[in-house]
Amino acid sequence: MTLSSTSHLPDAEALYSELVRGVKHLLSSSPEPVVLAGITSGGAWLVERLQRDLGLPGDAGVISSSMHRDDFAQRGLSLSAQTVLPFEVNGAHVLLVDDVLYTGRTLRAVINELFDYGRPASVRLAVLVDRGGRELPIEANVCAARVTIADDQLLALARDDGGRLSFVIEPKKA
């Protein structure tokens, strides 16, 4: 799917249903218990709903890439939620959840943050959308859709006051 205008944005709620199916299958096929952690902010919204909709026990984690970004000097510290992992990371099988996978740089930073809390047994990734453009050798285990948009645009997940998800395209900051 190629996106060139906001009139052709994928339906985030429909893709969420696909994500639920994929994550449910991944969890049911895993012999070990899996804990979920959402990457701020879109992934945190998704993991909050996944935890509830799948009836998983406990709380999902939230993990921030802010402190480990390779562009920290340009971006500074984000105002988004900070890392909260309400589970033991050492030996855990962690499923990271994010809204959009693009270059892989955010995921690299998140994995560094995760290792600040311990050494997981495994780390897998579930995303709502993979837009390609990888700069690092990272691939999602679960992906609801693959889309293509211009390199000078960002695809971002938005959430309204009622919790309904949608996508927006924003110009990439220089």
Q: pLDDT tens digit string along 72-128?
A: 445 455 555 789 999 999 999 999 999 999 999 999 999 999 999 999 999 999 999
Average pLDDT over every residue of 56-75: 77
Residue 159 has pLDDT above 70, yes or no: yes
What is the pLDDT at residue 35? 97
The DSSP annotation for 25-91 comes to HHHHH-SS-EEEEEETTHHHHHHHHHHHHTT-SS--EEE--GGG-TTHHHH-S-SSPPPB--S--TT
pTM of the model: 0.90
What ranges do the domains of the chain cover? 2-68+80-171
| Other beta carbons within 10 Å of 72 | 14
Cα(43)–Cα(12) distance, rounded to whole angstroms? Answer: 13
pLDDT band at 62 (very low <50, low <70, confident <90, very high): very high
3-class DSSP state for residue 134? Answer: coil
Q: What CATH number matches the domain at 2-68+80-171, 3.40.50.2020, 3.40.50.620, 3.40.250.10, 3.40.50.720?
A: 3.40.50.2020
What is the pLDDT at residue 16? 98
Contact 114, 120 (CB under 8 A): yes
HSE-CB of 3 using CA atoms within 13 angstroms = 27
- 118 backbone φψ class: left, alpha, beta (φ>0; ψ -120 to 50): left
What is the pLDDT at residue 67? 79
Cα(139)–Cα(124) distance, rounded to whole angstroms? Answer: 9
